[in-house]
Chain A
Amino acid sequence: MNGYVFPFTLAFTALSVVGALLRPASDLVNLALLASVALVSLGRMSTAWRSGLLAVLALTLTLLLRLNPGDKLAFYGLLGVLIACFLLPNLSTLVRVALGAAILFISVPIAGLTNSFLFELGIQIGIFAALALGLNVVVGQAGLLDLGFAAFFAIGAYTWGIFGSPQAAQFIEGFPPGGLPGNYLYLFMALAIITAAITGVLIGLPALRLRGDYLAIVTLGLGEVVRVFANNLDKPLNITNGPQGITPVNRPEVGFLTQFLQAIGAEQVYGKPIDSYITYAFFFYLLVLLVIGVVILVNIRLANSRFGRAWVAIREDEIAAKAMGIPLLPTKLLAFATGAAFSGIMGAIFAAKQTFVSPESFTLQASINILAFVILGGMGSIGGAVVGAAAVTVLNIGLLKDFSDLLNTWRQTGVTILGYNMANLPPQLNPAKYERLVFGVILILMMIFRPEGLIPEQRHRVEMQEARQEAKEGGGK
């Protein structure tokens, strides 16, 4: 049967390409494309053919998105290609990088300039991925369970939020009344790294003397402490403006991007002016992409360094690590500071992007969500953290919302499904509102069926297999 897969894939791909050229607006073409993406990713074929077909599909999907910017299925298809070129084994690094960069820097902007939702999604994924990478250093690599991780994100966000808005003038005399100009954001991204890292050390110093579950509860408590302070430091001195939050936070100037878009004639191509909202979305998309790239590079370099090996040693056996001469507290503190720094820098960008900071964004729920990204992706694995964050974000603000919209259309048109008239469906049943439920079910199922995560770290994969083997041989205790 395997012999038929390849010609079948080829035929399917050709069909969808031709379909896309002739009838770009039909759902049938989209579905054919999605099927081709799946076949190309999962079917059996030579690496060269696979790379080529992926490139062809990416090109077709980009074309479709250019023609209908609101085409959801084409977007998910493009996401599929991106994930495939990120995950598939045996692809050459050149193909991976070239195809990934082409999708991220060319396809998404082409579609995003008319449908800024794509940029929004990209920005969200980038921010969450940086947080997941930060926590991955702490939990995945060093094995220290931190349940108050959102605190560092908050520190980064408030570092820019306070000084890049009229807020600072409230408690510092002679400060410019509108706050620092937006271009100071670049400086404050560096400062946010430092403040977050310092907070990491300050929280780590008492907390890291404890182990396991005690560490978890203490970090959870200290994370709440940071949030309570953010929520209440509007008196005696108005530093954080309390629960109302700080607004408006300044954004950098994007004149260069506007000029660039004019230079390449974007307005003529799209036949309408590119407004500042979309330009800003584009700008933050690029900024987040840049920062996440740097974070991933730093993370890979760190993981393969002396410190990375020391973290893994501590995770596997603290006493043995100590006996080998690894200084425990400094090494753990470094993990805390590194993780905090990753989320601090994204905090500053988050504040500028939202133009609004409030304690609402940094609750215990946020910390647990970040932990879930790491676990879903695979603890300790860098690719896993990114994929975990991307998967959950796409699910939350993409798929669930689409499903809600679909249910709403059914409700309005009164379709009958399995003998049930959808018009009678209670309006309270709105999947977009019940993300926790979906999230909870995913977490439980993942832990039962694939506890090592979507993309397990090499070391973990071996361990889990051994544990399963043992359980089988022991006949299940």
Chain B
Amino acid sequence: MTLGDLIAILPQTILEGLLLGFVYAMVALGYTMVYGVLGLINFAHSEVFMIGAVIGLEVFRFWGNPAAPVIPNPFLLLLVALLFAAVGSGFMAVLVERFAYRPLRKRGSKNILVPMITAIGVSFLLQDLTRIYAALRHNEFNMQYRTYEALNQVFELPLQTTIQMKGVLIIGVSVLMLIGLTYLVNRTKLGKAIRAVSQDMQTAALMGINPDTIISRTFLIGGALGGVAGVLFGLLYTNVTPYSGVLPGLKAFTSAVLGGIGNIPGAMVGGLILGQLETLSGTYLPFLTNGNFGTEYKDVFAFLTLVLLLLFRPQGIFGQNVSEKV
């Protein structure tokens, strides 16, 4: 391939990175918001995301059967799937908080590892519960999203790029959700309360905010975003397994750290950056190294970038440097 060819595929690569980046950004928000209020890496969030994808899949499967559709319009069907996934994942996140994390908080353990191990336990539990569900309900492990002509319709864009209808929808939905979240966090009373709790839980409680309610709502919002992202992810890659939340969850968490964990705009930017890094390295690494190091190394590239960035800016791109007091 000549240099010209490499440049010619650049716009398409960036566009694909954008799709992936938006999905990461939405999942990263769930990690970063929980981290903001509790200082906890919520490992179970990747499963909340995966459950969103499974709920979306079930909606498509049962109400969108081409032979006898309950909802014939794929766009409406997608909307219903997004709604169900948002509600289902949101409540799943709230349940996880209520039954796994809150008892620990009440006991006042100072060890930060304890809630994290619980999160890992919850993550295992949800993975296998989904696996049992998939095995009993469909007798399968790999679940396929239905495909629709209307969603796969291809549009030509300038600079030799093309985008499918579902790509447009992914960008549209994500942008709407991100704008909505920014408004919610910055302009509403609930948002103010979330910010207050994440700054100082005790002082917030003194100001008449009930931290438990706010933490619960934070999980609800983060979970709902994760659920929506799950459906979009399923639409993009069409294949969902009970374990398919793990890797995107890891990447999304990396994005959150990249942007400065606990920082909401940081998570969005971090997600978009990681999406770009992944698709760009996936496309260009084979050419740059004469095929010796192929697309398989895109994750290595993403993680090494994270390590490098953290070495020079340990607090992430937008994070504030908090110096420790004795």
Known: A220-B250, A428-B135, A429-B132. A372 touches B120 (CB 8 A): yes
Q: A156 near B: Cβ within 8 Å?
A: no
Q: How far is the CB of B82 from chain A (nearest CB, A)?
A: 28
Chain A proximity mask over B110-142: 1 for CB below 8 Å, otherwise 0: 111111111011111111110110011001000
* Interface presence of B2 (CB below 8 A): no
Q: Are B311 and A209 in contact (CB under 8 A)?
A: yes
- Name the one of A220, A441, A471 contacting B108, with C-beta atoms under 8 angstroms: A471
When the two chains form their complex, are residues A213 and B41 in contact, meaning their CB atoms are under 8 A apart?
yes
Contact with A along B29-51 (1 / 0, CB 8 A): 00000010000010000000000
A374 to chain B, nearest CB (A): 10
Apart from A434-B132, A444-B125, A447-B117, 14 more pairs, CB < 8 Å: A211-B314, A214-B257, A225-B299, A228-B300, A235-B292, A320-B326, A426-B136, A429-B136, A434-B131, A439-B124, A440-B126, A442-B121, A447-B114, A477-B108
Report the Cα distance A398→B115, complex, angstroms: 29
* Distance in angstroms between the alpha carbons of A209 and B107 in the assembled complex: 32
Q: Which of A145, A221, A443 contacts B124 (CB 8 A)?
A: A443
B254 contact set on A, CB distance < 8 A: 217, 221
Q: Which 8 interchain pairs have the tightest Cβ spacing?
A: A443-B121, A440-B124, A440-B125, A221-B303, A437-B128, A471-B108, A428-B135, A444-B121
A-B contact count (CB 8 A): 148
Query: Which residues on the B side are within 8 Å of A428 (C-beta)?
Result: 132, 135-136, 139
Cβ-based interface call for B324 (8 A)? yes
Q: How far is the CA of A468 from the CA of B111 in the complex (A)?
A: 12
Report B-chain residues with C-beta under 8 Å of the C-beta of A440: 120-128
Q: Is A419 an interface residue (CB 8 A)?
A: no
Q: In chain B, what residue has the closest Cβ to A445?
A: B121
Q: A447 CA to B125 CA in the complex, in Å? A: 14
B304 near A: Cβ within 8 Å? yes
Interface status of A470 (Cβ within 8 A of chain B):
yes
Q: Is the interface of A mostly helix, strand, loop or mixed?
A: helix
29 contacts between A and B (CB under 8 A): A206-B311, A207-B307, A209-B314, A213-B41, A217-B41, A217-B257, A221-B304, A228-B297, A228-B299, A320-B326, A372-B117, A434-B131, A440-B123, A440-B128, A443-B117, A443-B120, A444-B100, A444-B118, A444-B122, A444-B125, A448-B103, A451-B114, A467-B108, A467-B109, A467-B110, A468-B107, A468-B108, A476-B106, A477-B108
A132 CB to closest chain B CB (Å) equals 14
Is there an interface contact between B306 and A451, defined as CB atoms closer than 8 Å? no
For the complex formed, measure the closest distance between the CB of B62 and the CB atoms of chain A, giving whole angstroms.
Answer: 20
Contacts of A190 in B (CB 8 A): none
Asked if B14 is an interface residue, CB under 8 A from chain A, the answer is no
User: Is B214 engaged at the interface, CB distance under 8 Å to the other chain?
Assistant: no
Is A474 part of the binding interface, using a Cβ–Cβ cutoff of 8 Å? yes
User: Which B residues, 79 to 122, have Cβ-Cβ distances below 8 Å to chain A?
Assistant: 100, 103-104, 106-118, 120-122
A426 to B227, CA, bound (A): 30
Residues of B whose CB lies within 8 Å of any CB of A are 35, 41, 100, 103-104, 106-118, 120-129, 131-132, 135-136, 139, 202, 246, 250, 253-254, 257, 261, 292-294, 296-297, 299-300, 303-304, 306-307, 310-311, 314, 324, 326
**Do B121 and A232 have beta carbons less than 8 Å apart?**
no
B257: chain A residues within 8 A (beta carbon): 213-214, 217
A437 B125 Cβ-Cβ under 8 A: yes
Cross-chain contact B310 with A218 (CB below 8 angstroms): yes
| Given A221-B306, A228-B299, A448-B103, A436:B124 Cβ within 8 A | yes
Taking A210-B310, A212-B112, A437-B132 as contacts, is the C-beta distance between A371 and B117 under 8 angstroms? yes
Q: Tell me the A353-380 residues at the B interface (CB within 8 Å).
A: 364, 368, 371-372, 375, 379
A210 touches B314 (CB 8 A): yes
Which residues does chain B contribute within 8 Å of A214, judged by CB atoms? 257, 310, 314
